[in-house]
Amino acid sequence: ARNTMSSDNNVYVERLRSELNYTYQKSGLLLLKETVFDDAFTLLSKGDMDPRVVINMFEGLAQSKWLKESPSVLLFDGVITLVEGLGTIKNIVNNSLKEFAKDSDQESEGTSEMRRVLLMNAREALNKYLRIEREKRKDRLGQNDTICKVIDTSLLKIYMSQKDDSSIYQLLQQPNDCSIEDCAKALSQSKKYYALSIMYESKHMYEKVLDIWTK
């Protein structure tokens, strides 16, 4: 239906587009519940779900202030119910493992390992999802767009958690919307001063760059 949809912006096309987005988003959330992360995030992206809603499911990345910034987060009624019921990714993983939880130590270790792998898979799937969402908005990069800021800040923190310095430098050396306050704090705490200087340079904050080099 989407591939054959008219490019005209009439009422019928807008209604069909809205129905398709609802279907994609709801399907994605149902797959998320089943911990099928790659396919889930692919559908959420096709359904144009606000990336802030997805990021808000990840502890360590979520910031409630992002959900209150303009533009407002808009969700379908049926989707809101699903999002609230799912909770965080950690909740989703824990709920999916309940049936596997046993009393013996050996099986507990197996459950613990499965939890670690699922959480890692979720993080990797989020990385791919954010790259796709960033590509959708490449024409807005460097223009202080709210959603671009959320995406770039989250990507930087993911790269830092993965110790992926090359991806950090690549992100910061091109036009980006990383939150200066949030990212400067994270980079300073991790003692990634070279990366911090690159970020300041990308923001034309040359005094900050020279100050870091001096120190």
Q: What angle do CA 171, 177, 180 make, to 5 degrees?
A: 95
How far, in Å, are 70, 119, 136 from residue 36 at the CA level? 31, 11, 23
Q: Which long-range contacts (CB under 8 A, 24 or more apart) does 183-189 make?
A: 183/153, 183/156, 183/157, 186/156, 186/157, 186/160, 187/160
CB atoms within 10 A of CB 2: 10
Q: What percent of the chain has pLDDT over 90?
A: 75
Q: What is the mean pLDDT of residues 9-22?
A: 87
Q: Which of 142, 193, 182, 162 is nearest to 61 (CA)?
A: 182
Torsion sign across C-alpha atoms 21, 25, 27, 31: positive
Instruction: Give me 9's structure tokens.
Output: 């912006």
pTM of the full structure: 0.89
Report whether 96 contacts 107 (CB < 8 A): no
Query: Nearest-CA neighbor of 114 among 104, 132, 127, 100?
Result: 100
Angle at 84 between CA 120 and CA 182, to 5 degrees: 55
Taking the CA of residue 208 as centre, how many other CA atoms within 13 Å lie in the half-sphere pointing to its CB? 17
Segment 90-143, tens digit of pLDDT = 999 999 888 666 544 555 667 888 999 999 999 999 999 999 999 999 888 878
What would the pLDDT profile of 33-72 be if each residue is shown by its tens digit? 999 999 999 999 999 999 999 999 999 998 989 999 999 9
